[in-house]
Every structure is written in structure tokens, then in C-alpha cells.
């Protein structure tokens, strides 16, 4: 099976962002980057699908030249090749532009199933997977926690407020992956060595114009300073009193 | 005047709270609000909107439903489509956005008129940054719970339209959650535990405190979810759920940045931790230093008394 895992280079989890001088973005120069958390789950599911059905896994991203680091990470874990849509301004692209560029490359690669993380941990929109599927005219199930692929037929489970929902669909499809779907593997030394010989194809994507206008980006307001009520069980009456008469939440 | 389509999730003719809040957000912009709903009971909705379009169908498919919503938005010449930021709304909205060839803004916490456009406020990087954005196309967005005023029920006239039967993915089953427990994303009070609970069995004390409130959900830090003590559905934080309840208890949670990102917009935060220097105390409105295992049983008893009005 021809399998694609869409991944994204995102600021490392511990990043304390600073605002860029124009006030419209996070200062990209100040951040450490990593593979987005949910994309590790997407990649793992892609590799497991290949292990079950045969085929090839391509790690695909829209990113800067430096994103070869995140692609190598995927190759070390078991992807066969990388596809980098090189775009120095990747962090300014909106989800529509990104989804269109990825959809075009998914078509060019001839993929039958695409795995994405449920959301990238930078913009947190959780939108590109569904948008890509819609542009491709494919089935899509989001936030998947259980997946079964049998030939061209598939079933997937996701959790919503209503409960655990089961969906059935045919490939080709886009699956967005939620924590719980699998336990991502780490790259071993052998994988890291092998990754150095695996190909990464870089190409310049065709980019639709952004339709998102950023008005401003700001840091969230700081919380007013709280107070220490006391120590141990002795502090309980004072806490309840504060919750009742001061905070008025009881 | 602008025209906004709001997708309203409903069960047996009752709209869910988050969807009603989305109607309120649309109304606050002075727009003509057209509600669209789906499924059994949708025709019985009495919403605060200009009109309600009930899509009649028995089988749920997110791609087919998104097609119907986008089709209505086009036919109505709407300049915005809102959904609630729920599991269903967040799944649907990006599909609708792509069909309208527009971007999608998820989990917005505020909306404001900006000339002819709508400015959306949304947290990014799990709330470490706040972005204000607008669309140059149709404004498609999901709106976070507890951020907008829900109007009283209205009397919008309902027109019925058949739902599309052109499915790609089809819902075949919904298995109810065990015990009907409140989800962290919905509960007005959350009691969360972390490593400071020492053993998975000790989460019974967390559950007891949540039960004492009657309307509280159990939450968990990433550390205890990764250790397998608690299910991922309870995880609060950057790789779990982002929550903003009225009252949040962080018990035995040190306050790692990725946990804080998911709960720092809670109205009131109470922290209980052994370590007086724990980062969580910098964020908490009220702190108690001490062993959670000792404090919890007494706190639970005190809460029982307070809740019953004693």
C-alpha cells in the first residue's frame, strides 16, 4: 500500500513564545523545534499499516529546509522516504493553503491512505486533515483511537461527547490520529544509521494565497496573584470559605 | 447585514449548550442567524434564530453533512459558518471550510465585528499565545464552550430539507461511555490529580471529591496518563484537553508548562501540593501546602457538607 504520514515541524513543547517585532506572529527565530506530538502517532500508524499490508511509507511535510531534521526522525523510526515541500514561510501559511499543497502532493505521490496527527501543536486548529480529505474528495475520520484496514475497507473509532463513535468507509482515506491509537516507537541506533541513506525529495510547492489575515498576536493576560491559604487539613475551612464568599464558585 | 449559518447539535429536539452559545455569538454580531441542524428531533427545535433548517436523515456521515451545511451557506449567501467547538463541530467545520474554499478557525474564544469581516480570537500553542484573525473568504469557525452567552430558547420557524445520502464515511455505532461520567471538557468543576497521588489506587480520593461536588469531572496530568494510571480522555494539558471550568483543583500536580497550558483559563484554580515551591502555586488562586492523601478525605467531607447546605 502507498502510505503517507503528514508531519509538521512545531515549536518544542517547553517553548515560552515571544512575539515577533511586527506583533503578528510568534518570533520564529527564538524557538526550538520538534516533530508535532500527534504526528508521532500518525507516523506509527503508517508504519504499522505498512507492516500489516506491505508497501511504502512517505513522511510528507510543508516546511523550511531545516524540516529535513523532523523528516529524518521519521525515517529513523521506519518511514521509507521523505517528501519536503520547501517553504521558508511555512509558519505563516493558513490551513487552507497548507491543505491544498499537501493534497496536491498526496495525489502526486499516488497515496491510498494518509495519516495526520489530530492537530499540530502550534496552531491547534485540527483542520488540515479534514480539509485535505475534502479537497481530495476522500473519506476522513478524525481523532481516531482505533483503526482496522482490511483491503479497501476500513473501520475507525473516535471519541466524542456522545461516546465512542464507529465509522465505516472505503480507501482512499485520511485518518487523523488521537493519543491512544498506538504507542509510537522510538528511533533506535540502527534506524538512525539507516535513515541517513533514505531519500528525501525536496520540491517547491504551488501555494495558494493565504486567506487568513492576522490582525495581531499577543501573550495571554497573566492571572492575578493568588494566595496561600495554609498547610494541611487545617486550611480546609478557610479554603471553602474563600470559594464560597470570595470566589463565589460554591 | 451579515448572515451567519450556525450548525446546532441536538438530541431529541434539545440543542446542546455549546451550540446555543454559538447562536448567541452570531447574534452578538448583529447578523441574521440561520440555524442548521440534523437528525431525529431537529424539526422540533425552538431556537433563537431567524430560521431553522432541519436536515432530515437517519444516517450520519460527516462528509455528507458538511456538504449540506456548505450547500446551505452558498445558497443563503452567508458570510460565516459557526459550529460549537465539540468533537462533532471540530470535525465538521474544516470540511465545510474546504468546501467553501476558506480557512477554518478552531476553538475561538471571542468574536467581534471588524468592518465587514469578523475578527476571531483564538488561543494557539495550547494557550501560550492568543491570535486575532479574520478570513478574506467565508468566516468558518468553531466556538469554545463557556465563552459566549447562550440566548433563551426562541421560536425560529423550522423548514425541513432532506439530508444528503452521498456518504463517504458512515457512522455505524455509538457506544455510550461507561457510567455516564462527566467529561472534563464539559464539567463546571474539575478535580485533577498528578504524580503526587503516589499510586493509581489513590485516585479513588480524587473521584470521591469529584463525586462530593456532584457536577465535577476527574482530570489527570500527562505524567499519570503516560504511566497508565488514568485514561487519556481525562488528560488536561497540551496533548490532552484544554479546559476552562468554574473551579479547577490541581492536586499533586507540579504545574509543568504543558499541563498549565490546558487549564490556566479556569475561573478559579485551587492547588494542593506537598512542595511549597511547586510552579502550580504561582498560578493558583488558592493554595494549600500538604500531603494530598491526608487532605483529600477531609476536604471531601467538608465539600459534602457545603454542597448539601449544612
* Sequence-distant contacts of A67-74: CB under 8 A, at least 24 apart: A67/A9, A68/A200, A68/A202, A69/A9, A69/A33, A70/A7, A70/A8, A70/A9, A70/A33, A70/A34, A70/A35, A71/A7, A71/A200, A72/A195, A72/A196, A72/A200, A73/A35, A73/A187, A74/A5, A74/A7, A74/A35, A74/A43
Q: How many CA atoms lie within 13 A of A48 on its CB side?
A: 16
Q: What is the pLDDT of residue B180?
A: 57
Give the A window 58-87 contacts with B, CB below 8 Å.
none
Q: What confidence tier does B1 reach under pLDDT thresholds 50, 70, 90?
A: low
Judge whether residue B277 has pLDDT over 90.
Answer: yes
Confidence of residue B309 (pLDDT cuts 50, 70, 90): low
User: Phi, psi at residue B275, to the nearest 5°?
Assistant: -90, 110
CB contact under 8 A, A168 and B169: yes
With CB atoms and an 8 Å threshold, state whether A233 touches B294.
yes
Sign of the Cα pseudo-torsion (B258, B261, B266, B270, in order)? positive
Q: Does A203 touch chain B (CB under 8 A)?
A: no
Q: What is the pLDDT of residue A13?
A: 83
Domains and CATH numbers, chain B: 3-162 (3.40.50.620), 178-307 (3.40.50.1220)
pLDDT, residue B42, reads 97
The whole-angstrom separation of Cα A81 and Cα A72 is: 9
For B219-239, the pLDDT digits (tens) are: 999 999 999 999 988 999 988
Q: Which of A95, A180, A235 minimises the CB distance to B103?
A: A95
Bigger pLDDT: B3 or B185? B3
Residue B299, min C-alpha distance to chain A (Å): 6
Class in CATH terms, A2-203: alpha beta
**What is the average pLDDT across B84-104?**
97
Interface pTM, i.e. ipTM: 0.95
Using one digit for the tens of pLDDT, what is the confidence trace for A12-69? Answer: 988 888 999 999 998 877 789 999 999 999 999 999 999 999 999 999 999 999 999 9
- Sole residue written with cell 451567519: B4
What pLDDT, in 10s, does the model give residues B100-155? 999 999 999 999 999 989 999 999 988 889 999 999 999 999 999 889 999 998 99
Q: What percent of chain B has pLDDT over 70?
A: 98
User: Which among B143, B142, B122, B140 is positioned nearest to B79, based on CA atoms?
Assistant: B140
- The nearest alpha carbon in chain A to B268 belongs to A247
What residue ranges of chain A have pLDDT lower than 70?
none
C-alpha B211/C-alpha B70 separation (Å) is 42
Q: Does A168 touch chain B (CB under 8 A)?
A: yes
CA distance B294 to A175: 45
Give the strand pairing for A163-170 and A153-160: antiparallel
Q: What distance in Å separates the CA atoms of residue A160 and residue B175, rounded to the nearest whole number?
A: 10
d(CA B44, CA B37): 10
Closest to B102 (Cβ–Cβ): which among A96, A135, A162?
A96
Average pLDDT of chain B to the nearest whole number: 94
Helix, strand or coil for residue B135?
strand
Q: Tell me if B91 and A142 make a contact (CB, 8 A cut-off).
A: yes
State residue B239's pLDDT score. Answer: 85
| Cell numbers standing for residue B239 | 496533548
Interface A:B, Cβ pairs < 8 A? 270
Of A124, A223, A243, the CB nearest to B124: A124
Report the residue of chain B nearest A217, measured CA to CA.
Answer: B131
For B97, the closest chain A residue by CA position comes to: A131
- For residues B264 and B309, the model is more confident at B264
Q: Is B116 on the interface with A (CB under 8 A)?
A: no
B288·A236 Cβ contact <8 A:
yes
End-to-end CA distance of chain A: 57
CA distances from B242 to A20, A163, B186, B279 (A): 25, 19, 11, 19
Which positions in chain A touch B235 (Cβ < 8 Å)?
179
Asked whether the beta carbons of B191 and B172 are under 8 A apart, the reply is no
When pLDDT is averaged across residues B174-185 and rounded to a whole number, the result is: 78
Interface test with A, best of B14, B66, B84, B91 (most A CBs within 10 A): B91
Question: Are B141 and B108 spatial neighbours (Cβ–Cβ below 8 Å)?
Answer: yes
Taking the Cβ of residue B273 and every Cβ of chain A, the question of whether any pair is shorter than 8 Å is answered with no
CA distance A19 to chain B (A): 9
The CA-atom distances, in angstroms, between B68 and each of B31, B52, B57 are: 21, 14, 11
B119 in Cβ contact with B111 (< 8 Å) = yes
The answer to whether residue B287 neighbours chain A at the CB level (below 8 Å) is yes
Using an 8 Å Cβ cutoff, are A141 and A176 in contact?
yes
The residue of chain A nearest to residue B289, with distances taken between CA atoms, is A231
- Residue B244 pLDDT: 87
Q: Which position has the grid cell 508521532?
A: A40
CA distance B187 to chain A (A): 12
**Which three cell numbers, joined as nine digits, stand for A29?**
527565530
Residue B310 has pLDDT above 60, yes or no: no
Q: What is the pLDDT of residue B258?
A: 86
What's the distance, Cα to Cα, between the start and end of chain B in Å?
Answer: 53
Which of these, B236, B127, B255, lies nearest to B187 by C-alpha position?
Answer: B236
pLDDT at B37 over 90: yes
Amino acid at each position: 500500500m502507498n502510505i503517507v504520514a503528514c508531519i509538521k515541524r512545531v515549536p518544542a513543547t517547553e517553548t515560552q513564545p515571544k512575539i515577533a517585532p511586527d506583533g503578528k506572529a510568534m518570533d520564529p527565530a527564538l524557538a526550538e523545534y520538534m516533530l508535532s506530538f500527534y504526528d508521532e502517532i500518525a507516523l506509527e500508524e503508517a508504519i504499522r499499516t505498512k507492516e500489516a499490508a506491505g508497501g511504502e511509507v512517505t513522511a510528507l511535510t510543508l516546511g523550511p529546509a531545516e524540516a529535513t531534521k523532523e523528516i529524518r526522525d521519521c525515517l529513523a523510526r521506519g518511514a521509507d522516504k521523505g517528501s519536503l515541500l520547501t517553504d521558508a514561510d511555512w509558519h505563516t501559511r493558513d490551513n487552507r493553503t497548507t491543505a491544498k499543497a499537501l493534497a496536491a502532493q498526496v495525489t502526486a505521490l499516488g497515496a491510498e491512505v494518509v495519516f495526520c496527527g489530530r492537530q499540530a501543536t502550534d496552531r491547534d486548529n485540527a483542520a488540515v486533515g479534514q480539509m485535505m480529505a475534502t479537497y481530495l474528495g476522500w473519506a476522513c475520520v478524525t481523532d481516531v483511537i482505533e483503526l482496522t484496514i482490511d483491503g479497501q475497507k476500513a473501520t475507525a473509532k473516535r471519541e466524542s461527547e456522545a461516546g465512542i463513535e464507529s465509522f465505516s468507509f472505503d480507501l482512499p482515506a485520511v485518518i487523523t490520529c488521537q493519543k491512544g491509537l498506538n504507542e509510537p516507537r522510538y528511533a533506535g541506533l540502527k534506524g538512525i544509521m539507516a535513515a541517513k541513506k533514505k531519500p528525501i525529495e525536496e520540491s517547491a510547492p504551488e501555494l495558494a494565497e493565504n486567506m487568513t489575515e492576522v490582525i495581531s498576536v499577543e501573550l495571554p493576560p497573566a492571572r492575578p496573584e493568588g494566595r496561600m491559604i495554609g498547610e494541611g487539613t487545617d486550611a480546609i475551612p478557610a479554603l471553602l470559605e474563600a470559594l464560597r464568599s470570595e470566589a463565589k464558585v460554591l | 447585514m451579515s448572515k451567519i449559518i450556525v450548525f446546532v447539535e441536538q438530541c431529541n429536539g434539545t440543542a446542546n449548550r455549546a451550540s446555543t452559545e454559538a447562536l448567541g455569538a452570531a447574534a452578538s454580531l448583529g447578523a441574521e442567524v440561520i440555524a442548521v441542524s440534523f437528525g431525529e428531533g431537529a424539526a422540533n427545535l425552538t431556537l433563537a434564530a431567524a430560521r431553522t433548517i432541519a436536515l432530515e436523515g437517519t444516517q450520519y456521515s460527516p462528509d455528507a453533512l458538511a456538504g449540506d451545511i456548505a450547500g446551505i451557506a452558498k445558497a443563503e449567501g452567508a458570510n460565516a459558518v459557526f459550529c460549537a467547538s465539540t468533537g462533532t463541530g471540530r470535525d465538521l467545520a474544516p470540511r465545510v471550510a474546504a468546501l467553501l474554499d476558506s480557512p477554518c478557525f478552531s476553538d475561538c474564544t471571542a468574536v467581534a465585528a471588524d468592518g465587514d469581516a469578523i475578527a476571531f480570537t483564538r488561543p494557539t500553542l495550547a494557550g501560550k499565545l492568543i491570535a486575532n484573525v479574520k478570513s478574506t473568504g467565508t468566516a468558518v469557525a468553531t466556538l469554545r464552550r463557556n465563552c459566549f452567552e447562550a440566548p433563551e430558547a426562541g421560536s425560529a420557524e423550522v423548514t425541513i430539507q432532506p439530508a444528503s445520502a452521498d456518504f463517504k464515511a458512515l457512522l455505524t455505532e455509538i457506544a455510550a461511555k461507561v457510567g455516564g461520567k462527566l467529561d472534563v471538557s464539559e464539567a463546571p468543576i474539575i478535580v485533577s490529580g498528578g504524580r503526587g497521588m503516589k499510586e493509581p489506587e489513590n485516585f479513588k480520593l480524587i473521584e470521591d471529591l469529584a463525586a462530593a461536588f456532584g457536577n465535577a469531572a476527574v482530570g489527570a496530568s500527562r505524567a499519570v496518563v503516560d504511566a497508565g494510571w488514568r485514561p487519556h480522555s481525562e488528560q488536561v494539558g497540551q496533548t490532552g484537553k484544554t479546559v476552562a471550568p468554574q473551579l479547577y483543583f490541581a492536586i499533586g500536580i507540579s504545574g509543568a508548562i504543558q499541563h498549565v497550558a490546558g487549564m490556566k483559563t479556569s475561573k478559579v484554580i485551587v492547588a494542593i501540593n506537598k512542595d511549597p515551591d511547586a510552579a502550580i502555586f504561582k498560578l493558583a488562586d488558592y493554595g494549600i501546602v500538604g500531603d494530598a492523601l491526608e487532605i483529600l478525605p477531609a476536604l471531601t467531607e467538608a465539600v459534602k457538607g457545603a454542597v448539601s447546605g449544612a
